[in-house]
Amino acid sequence: MKKVRLLVLVLAIAVIATGITSAQDETVLVVGHAESTDSLDPARGYTQTKDIIDHVIYENLVTFPQADASEILPMLATDWAISEDGLSYTFNLASGPVFSDGSPITADDVVFSVNRLKYVQGSPSFLAADIAGVTADDEDTVTFTLSQPNPAFLANLANTAFGIVNADVVRENGGTDAEDAATTDTAETYLNSMSAGSGPYVLESWEPQVETVLVRNSNYTGDAPYFDRIIITNIPEAATQKVALESGEIDLALDLTSDQIVALEGNPEITIYRGPGNIVHFLLMNANPDVGGPMADPLVQKAVRLSLDYEGYVALWGGVQPGSVEFVGNAYAFTPEQGVQRNLDEARALLAEAGYADGFDVTLEYPIFTFQGVNMETNAQKIQADLAEVGINVTLSPAELQVALENYRTGAEGFGYWFWGPDVLDAVDMLAFAPGGKVAEERALWTTDMADPALNELVARARVATDPAEREEVFTGIQTMMQENSPFAPFLQPDVQTAFRADIEGYIWHPQWLLDLALLGRSM
């Protein structure tokens, strides 16, 4: 009897509760997210949660396209000029945009925002480390001087850390851009509770570990977003996000695991987004014969690249074949069509030329790990099968992540399977794999004196070149040469997956800010 009464009570409450929520008439988006930030201050936070939120409350001088990092687009800056030596960048500011309080965005705001980022010594301040100075030439022109050429500088400027804040408002609330800002700037509390930017939304409230509320910026000069109000609610458990998404309590679940996504397939109320992410899975073949054995031979390395069944990996996990170690979608990265094509006959011929006509035995080391739903064990077995077709007998040697990582980082792996996520959303990121780079030098033991001098020369130019035409030329050259001769075989760039209610439109995954909340809408 008691139970029945309880059930009736619960029912009654549920009905009333539903009635109350549906009575609101403003457009509201509810996002379920495992919150992971300690700050929303552009100069202090350096987390995914902060990127998602700050991307819609602040604007930068420059930005990326909606879906990738293939080029740099103007945002608050209309155009820019780079000096011959790559040390000086001059930006012209757009005249239209205003801050959320209606005041115009001036060169002083830019100087303040950049210096504050540099001097507060927050988590993302390292992004401004090579800025020697920034000056306002006039009301709407700003010049940056770098201490050394940095072709990734524009990509850095697109990071939410370089979001332009309203200098007057931040100053009034304890902010400073002086050199001692690390100890004297007290604006973080303000910026964690209110925003001082020019993006399509303003921060209404942030209750850490509970929820973040964004409301439409009435002074926003760009295209008005669809939702009046966005609530990002903290749901740390992925399983709970799934339940809340199924019940319609949240519109978008940002942290579902891939098996949870699979379980949602076929649910007509849920849409599943799949698209290539920015992680590249690759094989490492140690260039030092003492460590790599036969794998150190460039002919064998190329034969391995020609032996992999690229389409097969994409069929397993979705995604695309990367054209190089750089993810498809990053600036100057090869497209899947420019990737290595499987050619077993050529691979066998190369092996014969290298003296391995009858093949050889080798051990493949990899971590016991599933990353973003891709099980490395499954891929290792497929690599084993692919290489068996050209006579390379692979013995699989999985190890716990920390153990495998140690061997990988110390360059002790002869033949390894790993994945790479970009540190910088710029083509220079791939130089880690080029001679002189971290992965090449320390992990594959592939040094500059082993590499083709022509490649070394291209790499040297790539480290400083800022002219788009020249960058196109050098990065094309590097990727072409590394397909021919390098100790790496990139083979898969898997899909990322997100699930949301079927009436949500405009979802686009982005390698920098994950998703642009201002692009989302709801179909009628």
Which residues form the interface with another protein (CB under 8 A)?
7, 10-11, 13-14, 16-17, 20-21, 24, 28, 30, 38-39, 46, 121, 123, 125-126, 182, 188, 207-211, 231, 233-237, 239-240, 243-244, 246-247, 249-250, 423
Rounded to a whole number of angstroms, the minimum distance from the CB of residue 476 to another protein is 28
Question: In sequence order, which residues have a C-beta less than 8 Å from that of residue 105 and are 6 or more positions away?
Answer: 76, 93, 97, 98, 99, 164, 166, 198
Core vs surface per residue 28-47: b (16+ CB within 10 A) or e: ebbbbbbbebbbbbbbbbbb
What pairs with residue 492 in β-bridges? Answer: 281
Could you give the CA distance from residue 199 to residue 214 in angstroms, rounded to a whole number? 11
Rounded to a whole number of angstroms, the minimum distance from the CB of residue 233 to another protein is 5
Nearer to another protein, 130 or 386 (CB): 130
Q: At what angle do helices 468-484 and 453-462 cross, to 10 degrees?
A: 150
Check if the beta carbon of residue 364 is closer than 8 Å to that of residue 380: yes
Could you give the CA distance from residue 158 to residue 430 in angstroms, rounded to a whole number? 19
Rounded to a whole number of angstroms, the minimum distance from the CB of residue 342 to another protein is 35
Tallying the residues shown for the chain, one arrives at 524
Rounded to a whole number of angstroms, the minimum distance from the CB of residue 247 to another protein is 4
Which segments within 332-464 are labelled E, that is strand? 360-367, 370-371, 374-375, 392-399, 415-420
Nearer to another protein, 9 or 388 (CB): 9
Could you give the CA distance from residue 374 to residue 161 in angstroms, rounded to a whole number? 31
Question: In sequence order, which residues have a C-beta less than 8 Å from that of residue 303 and are 6 or more positions away?
Answer: 346, 347, 348, 350, 351, 354, 390
Rounded to a whole number of angstroms, the minimum distance from the CB of residue 15 to another protein is 9
CA-based torsion, 306, 336, 329, 510: positive or negative: negative
Nearer to another protein, 107 or 245 (CB): 245
Nearer to another protein, 69 or 303 (CB): 69
Rounded to a whole number of angstroms, the minimum distance from the CB of residue 288 to another protein is 25
Rounded to a whole number of angstroms, the minimum distance from the CB of residue 215 to another protein is 12
Rounded to a whole number of angstroms, the minimum distance from the CB of residue 419 to another protein is 16
Rounded to a whole number of angstroms, the minimum distance from the CB of residue 136 to another protein is 28
Nearer to another protein, 92 or 156 (CB): 156
Rounded to a whole number of angstroms, the minimum distance from the CB of residue 127 to another protein is 9
Question: In sequence order, which residues have a C-beta less than 8 Å from that of residue 92 and are 6 or more positions away?
Answer: 77, 78, 79, 80, 140, 141
Could you give the CA distance from residue 429 to residue 445 in angstroms, rounded to a whole number? 18
Tokens representing residue 215 in the block: 């409301």
Could you give the CA distance from residue 31 to residue 256 in angstroms, rounded to a whole number? 12
> DSSP string of 460-495?
HHHTT---HHHHHHHHHHHHHHHHHS-SEEEEEBPE
Nearer to another protein, 75 or 504 (CB): 504
Rounded to a whole number of angstroms, the minimum distance from the CB of residue 105 to another protein is 29
Phi, psi angles (nearest 5°) of residue 235: -125, 95
Nearer to another protein, 250 or 362 (CB): 250
Tokens representing residue 433 in the block: 């794999």
Phi, psi angles (nearest 5°) of residue 234: -80, 110
Question: In sequence order, which residues have a C-beta less than 8 Å from that of residue 390 and are 6 or more positions away?
Answer: 303, 307, 344, 347, 348, 351, 359
Tokens representing residue 264 in the block: 């949602």
Rounded to a whole number of angstroms, the minimum distance from the CB of residue 229 to another protein is 8
Nearer to another protein, 423 or 505 (CB): 423
Phi, psi angles (nearest 5°) of residue 147: -80, -20
Rounded to a whole number of angstroms, the minimum distance from the CB of residue 10 to another protein is 6
Nearer to another protein, 129 or 454 (CB): 129
Could you give the CA distance from residue 321 to residue 276 in angstroms, rounded to a whole number? 10
